[in-house]
Structure 1
């Protein structure tokens, strides 16, 4: 039965579902680590982090709503069908079995058990933990329409309650004063802190996840009886604002906690270790147990959302393979790659994110602005063509030493730093993307006759 509007409870449930899908592995560990790195510059770095960690995911959802797309493929199709397929598969693979989904198991394992197990015990323990983890993920994600019940009504509220316990202790008995803490070299100065915080937000993967989650969001909204495209867009936008606002508040608190922890602890190797130390300081062993449960719940909700969205996206593009088969594939391969270990997953996911994020950011911006130039293909094509080369270079620069330290890579990176601004920050794509957009816009206006008519007048 078709409906014209939803009630407040349904908006809250959809927002809760979105929050649970977004807030997972990296969302717990990276803000803590950023706070420790930024020290007294935590607020400036946090603002940069919020842009890529919350605003871009919100814009990703809005871009799908504005263009009335069914997912990543439709959104990128103006650039070309082959490119759209390539971009969709790359995003799905990154968020699915290659990086993001395996990380949802390795992160809570590292937080809960990594510090208490020796090197000989870790492999078998991770094998057992990840097997149970992805069995649960598969069980919950078998039915796409059940996702709002499993995430929005059950797992997500439990996570928020557990997270609140940690926050209460942090505010009532703060570890130290964040504004007086030392900063690391990369975070000296406001602009450096902001840009590095901006890049740290890539690690959450939420902007590209927003492009993938759009399918699950639309499916859920339609299942609630909203059928008209304009109403689907409004419901998605309103629910996203609720979800992202809550996420932004949590991020800033986590970053602040990370900065205050420097009073007692050294900068940890990753945010998982830092969070574990903080929980142990406040609550002892009960704190460790709470943190282990909290991390598992948070990452499990994201794993369910990623697996569901991956299977739906791939089935939509390659319908000969059933949803159930894609779901089995992503859960199985995620289990395999999870057992490689968290450090290796992070090390190899970083270059992929440095490549995908510039392309995702420009695609989101073009999609939102598309009504102004009627989705002109030339603007999409030129912007993407000028963006993709520096994006590849950024991926090389952030790759493990086996690639980034090679002789050929050093030559490419030296040329890049010499001619493109912000190359040292991984932002060398900004100027080329702007040039590409400008060139595409000029060509579009010339074809339309706007510039010619203006000159003649």
Structure 2
């Protein structure tokens, strides 16, 4: 039976809110959260403010809403969020989300960011490939061994590492304010960011994958709030929201500073292919080789704790839905595949993750919105089904359009992309799913209202 009363009727203390906020921060803030905003700053140049606003929508607001969606619907993860669309769709969506957060992109990225930011600048270019192989092998061997025992080592290490890492980051930020590399307001702007900086910033926020992470790991936060005695859905959602706001304010501040630093760095450095080299240049500029060595150590351990969280969640969820394969077997599969994909390099991982995120994010955004407002239409499946059907073609077309250049450099694919850009409103902005999704939602709500009236 559902709890309608709290076990703890007293308001949560500031210390308890900070505890939940710290958990949220640890769940959301990983290696990718450092490299993408600083790269965005380089791309946006003097348009960095409008780009930052777009990035904050998908990098801060959406992850917070995803955790709220889990709380409001009393879900246990991605599967439950998508369940109104049927078990088959929910299983497929769960597999895609966990594969994206797991062995395909996010988990390999923890090793490649560690290498690209912390170690690659200190290694001669000719040894770069073998160095990545060795470091990623050690990284995922350690990830597997820590996750194998399902212990709390990462939680304990995280309590020490996160504050140290944030202190180091704060020192670098302070130096960046006292001695800026350049004036962000006069830097050059890449072509894509001259007229659509907000929307490009919005899409760049997809790369953090935090909205997907919120759906996958939001139940951890909701459960933690319940353990503090806030067991009724209303008070649980309220406590989760306030803790989330505290956490995301910190994340948002860090993002804005990193975007600004990325823009100022154009005074001294060229636009990099991704944010890894830029972040390393920034830290080395202010803290020198000692700062770089310290950064490499802290980043390795911080990324390791993130990787352990990702592979553990993947193995637990897949074992729950596919119990014939044990937790430890799923763990080995994830770590093995992550090791292989990590050795493709950071740039390749980002290139191929973008199309997948362009496909998944419209579904995730609408499922989050539908979940939050589901009490208003009694979680009626018809509202979900019509809304999701309406965005399927635009989302698929967005995926094709964002494939790497060498994958679409043929007449057939170019014809499809030209058709897409010509006949789908806002296609060039990657937002062509918005109008169909809105129309689908309105139609679904009208049908729901007529059903209720009858």
Shorter chain as denominator, the TM-score bin is over 0.9
Rounded Cα–Cα distance in structure 2 between residues aligned with 1:415 and 1:365:
29
Counterpart of 2:333 in structure 1 is: 329
- Farther off after superposition, 281-290 or 35-44: 281-290
Counterpart of 1:396 in structure 2 is: 400
Rounded Cα–Cα distance in structure 1 between residues aligned with 2:367 and 2:98:
16
Counterpart of 1:177 in structure 2 is: 183
Identify which of 166, 170, 186 aligns with 1:164: 170
Counterpart of 1:128 in structure 2 is: 134
Pairing of 1:23-42 with structure 2 (within 5 A): 23-42=29-48
Rounded Cα–Cα distance in structure 2 between residues aligned with 1:315 and 1:163:
38
1:64 corresponds to 2:70 = yes
Q: Tell me how far 1:397 sits from its aligned partner.
A: 0.7
Distance 1:285 1:329, change over 3 A: same
Residues 358, 398 of structure 2: 8 Å contact kept: yes
Rounded Cα–Cα distance in structure 1 between residues aligned with 2:283 and 2:164:
18
Distance 1:45 1:138, change over 3 A: same
Rounded Cα–Cα distance in structure 2 between residues aligned with 1:446 and 1:250:
47
Deviations 1:309-341, CA, capped at 9 Å, x for gaps: 222322332234333333333223212221221
Residues 33, 208 of structure 2: 8 Å contact kept: yes
Q: Tell me how far 1:228 sits from its aligned partner.
A: 4.9
Identify which of 276, 280, 300 aligns with 1:276: 280
Rounded Cα–Cα distance in structure 2 between residues aligned with 1:100 and 1:416:
29
Identify which of 13, 20, 40 aligns with 1:14: 20
Pairing of 1:51-450 with structure 2 (within 5 A): 51-142=57-148, 146=152, 149-150=155-156, 152-189=158-195, 192-221=196-225, 228-449=232-453
Residues 95, 306 of structure 1: 8 Å contact kept: yes
Q: Tell me how far 1:232 sits from its aligned partner.
A: 4.2
Q: Tell me how far 1:40 sits from its aligned partner.
A: 1.1
TM-score by length of structure 2 reads 0.92
Residues 154, 308 of structure 2: 8 Å contact kept: no
Q: Tell me how far 1:122 sits from its aligned partner.
A: 1.8
Rounded Cα–Cα distance in structure 1 between residues aligned with 2:440 and 2:294:
50
Counterpart of 1:453 in structure 2 is: none
SS at 2:75 equivalent = coil
Q: Tell me how far 1:96 sits from its aligned partner.
A: 0.4
Distance 1:208 1:30, change over 3 A: same
Rounded Cα–Cα distance in structure 2 between residues aligned with 1:380 and 1:307:
30
Q: Tell me how far 1:256 sits from its aligned partner.
A: 0.6
- Farther off after superposition, 428-437 or 4-13: 4-13
Residues 14, 148 of structure 1: 8 Å contact kept: no
Counterpart of 1:454 in structure 2 is: none
SS at 1:114 equivalent = helix
Structure 1 residue runs of 5 or longer lacking an equivalent are: 451-457
Rounded Cα–Cα distance in structure 1 between residues aligned with 2:34 and 2:134:
23
Counterpart of 2:3 in structure 1 is: none
Distance 1:202 1:279, change over 3 A: same
Residues 141, 147 of structure 1: 8 Å contact kept: no
Deviations 1:386-412, CA, capped at 9 Å, x for gaps: 111111111111112343223332222
